[in-house]
Chains A and B, each alone.
Chain A
Amino acid sequence: MRERVLYALGVAAALLLARNLYVILLVLPDEAEQGAIYRIIYFHLPAWFTCFAAFLAAGAASAGYLARNDSRYDALAVAATEVGLAFCTIGMVTGSIWARNQWGIWWTWDPRLTWALITTLVYGGYLMLRRAIEDPNERAKNTAVLSIFAFTSVVITYKAIDWWRTQHPGPVLSFRTGGGKIDPAMESMIYVNWAPFLMLAVVFVVVRMRQELARRELDALRRFAHAM
């Protein structure tokens, strides 16, 4: 049953993405100054939203692990972090391509971009730290603490365009500005395209979490086999 729900969610996400692509390319109007390139925003922002949601889930799961000492929480934390990093990569790459076209450069050390990079490195470091610690309990405990503290980097990344003057465009979404910065049809498409990203992220997290739990059982069985 769960397997079917997972497949259904994946197929629904793919269909919704295809439908959204049609609307983004052929229905929505062009942006007056940027031409076609502005359409990257329909993937750039949903990717970052998904990434932040995944990192929030990883932080909550890490707190859950520290409170309950249940390895399923740790598996959820590592799965959400890895999936969050995949969406973070989409955000970084699409942003960089947009910047190359609009600013003439792939990268600049602007506060928003720099904090986005720091967030990527911190969560990448989380995954590397997991490989470096042999003992499963120590690994889960240490990385859970890191994951909780790492979320401060997500908050700073999110608020960077409010706190500092940045080359990166300032807030445009109406829940941050009160409205008037972006056409409502364009803004709603950002949220509509966030839905399939979230659905895909859920599928990825569940699959990755199962793999993590299977890997643990496998390691325990291997130790048992060697002890026989």
Chain B
Amino acid sequence: MDERNFTYMFYGFAAVWAILAGYALTLAGRDRKIRREIENLKRLLEERERK
């Protein structure tokens, strides 16, 4: 492969993977947050029912 401008090509490819991975991690983080909130809400409802 011609190595002219290789560094910028690498930056471009790295940016693609970084953005895709960043978005996938954001989605995973949101999933965890929603699950945590559901658990908290369940606990809250159980406490209210007991009262």
- Cβ contacts under 8 Å, B45 to chain A: 221, 225, 228
A27 to chain B, nearest CB (A): 10
CA distance A2 to B13 in the complex (A): 31
Q: How large is the interface on A (under 10, 10 to 19, 20 to 34, 35 or more residues)?
A: 35 or more
Beta-carbon contact of A222 and B2 below 8 Å: no
User: Which residue in chain B gives the minimum CB-CB distance to A94?
Assistant: B12
Contact flag A94-B16 (CB < 8 Å), given A30-B1, A204-B23, A218-B34 = yes
Mask: chain A, 33-67; 1 = CB below 8 Å from B; 0 = not = 01111011001100100000000000000000000
**List of B residues within 8 angstroms of A221 by Cβ:** 41, 45
Query: Is A97 part of the contact surface with B, judged by Cβ < 8 Å?
Result: yes
Complex interface residues of chain A between 89 and 112 (CB less than 8 A to chain B)? 89-90, 93-94, 97-98, 100-101
Interface size, B (range) = 20 to 34
Cross-chain contact A218 with B15 (CB below 8 angstroms)? no
Binary interface profile of B, 6-29, with partner A (CB < 8 Å = 1, else 0)?
101101110110011001100100
Docked complex Cα distance between A221 and B39 (Å): 12
Among residues of A, the one whose C-beta sits closest to the C-beta of B31 is A211
A207 interfacial by beta-carbon distance below 8 Å:
yes
Question: Can you name 18 A-B pairs with beta carbons within 8 Å?
Answer: A21-B13, A25-B1, A35-B2, A37-B8, A47-B16, A89-B19, A90-B20, A93-B12, A93-B15, A97-B12, A101-B8, A200-B20, A204-B27, A207-B31, A208-B27, A214-B34, A218-B37, A228-B48
Residues of B within 8 A of A (CB): 1-6, 8-9, 11-13, 15-16, 19-20, 23-24, 27, 30-31, 34, 37-38, 41, 44-45, 48
